[in-house]
Amino acid sequence: MKKRILSAMMALFMAASLASCGGSAAESTKAASEGAKEESQKEEKGSSAAEEKGESKEKKADASGLKVGIVTDVGGVNDGSFNQSAWEGLQRAEKELGVQAKYQESHTDADYKPNIENFVDEDYDLIICIGYALADALKEESAAHPDVKFAIVDDASLADAKNVTSLMFEQAQVSYLAGYVAAKTTKKNTIGIVLGMATDLMHQFGYGYLAGAIDANPGIKVLQTNANSFADTAAGKTAANNMVAQGADVIFQVAGGTGLGVIDGCKEAGIWAIGVDSDQSSIAPKTILTSAMKRVDNAVFDVTNELSEGKLEPGVKTYALADEGVDLAPVTDNIDPTVLSEVEELKKKIISGEITVPKTKAEFEAKYGSVYELDD
């Protein structure tokens, strides 16, 4: 009997031991399985993070590997105008996008073609020509190098080229505002405009300026001069002095480097000057009434960014008041607050189409007659 009881107890003990071992094994197996799964997930996450990091580095490397250059016109990169604005836009792209940026200055028209070729020889990914004066050289170079991407400011003659992006601006719109401000500011009822060259593009500034001035004051007198250069500060100063002698007390310069001479002449005479292309108030804060800005810096940054994203397309891109591609300078301390309020209303009317600013001789003369003299 005792043997039976002892055998039964031993059997129960062995069964319990086996059950306990089996449970531990199952739990161990489960734990091991879960641990392996967790490790696998960690590895996958680590691998995914590494891949993402690698992709990010690769993208950054791709952007930093892009080379973008600008070729200035004869005004040079320190013209305080659109060449300088273009370079500032490319410097921004260098800082924010990581592209390599460089400029080639042109001192004469003969420099345009070799400067473009220098960038081609150095395998630049995008070559941006600043100003319509480079159009002929670009036409030849873009045809000779169809695999190279180009852009040009202020010229649409190559709009059909498969490797050229034209960056255009509604300069007549902002010139209209400048003319309105000039006519509202003058104390002598006489204002002036100095062009760097007499071309269709430059006349758009003239048509807009006179239209705005006449709409503000139908009896206004507008003196007009073509300096025939974008790089002759002495000629600019002479033009300003001549206008001062005829009674002008506000002069709009649209002349690149030559315009710096206009500003200097206005400063010495104690009259107002209106800058162009960029905010030129820093040149002479007490002389610059306002500036008719063309955001060349934004346009250069835009095409460079599109290049980095693989989205740059040929054709024409136009910047206007509606997208802040053109506007009067944000520094407005020298403009009467009432005039500023009127300008804001004019902007709305131009953007809505209620006011159509003339851009051609026919459009201008249809409303204002033949008072613009520089297109003859």
Do 218 and 288 lie in one domain? The reply is yes
5 pLDDT higher than 50: no
Please report the pLDDT score of residue 63 as a whole number. 65
User: What pLDDT is attached to residue 62?
Assistant: 57
Work out whether strand 100-104 and strand 67-71 pair parallel, antiparallel, or are unpaired: parallel
Is the same domain home to 348 and 205?
yes
Indicate whether 274 and 344 sit together in one domain: yes
Per-residue pLDDT at 155 exceeds 50: yes
Residue 335 pLDDT greater than 60, yes or no:
yes
**Interval 275-328: pLDDT, tens:** 999 999 999 999 999 999 999 999 999 999 999 999 999 999 999 999 989 999
The answer to whether residues 210 and 238 belong to one domain is yes
- Residue 256 in tokens: 């690149």
At residue 75, the pLDDT reads: 86
Q: Does 165 lie in the same domain as 175?
A: no
> Is 90 exceeded by the pLDDT of residue 123?
yes
Domain's final residue, options 117, 138, 169: 169
Mean pLDDT of 264-278: 97
- In the chain, where do the E strands start and end? 67-71, 100-104, 126-130, 149-153, 164-169, 190-195, 221-226, 250-254, 272-277, 288-294, 315-319, 326-328
CATH number at residue 140: 3.40.50.2300
| pTM, full prediction | 0.79
pLDDT band at 64 (very low <50, low <70, confident <90, very high): confident
Interval 69-108: pLDDT, tens: 999 999 889 888 889 999 999 999 999 999 999 999 999 9
What mean pLDDT comes out for the span 239-263?
Answer: 97
Can you tell me the distance from the alpha carbon of 237 to that of 255, in angstroms, rounded to the nearest whole number? 11
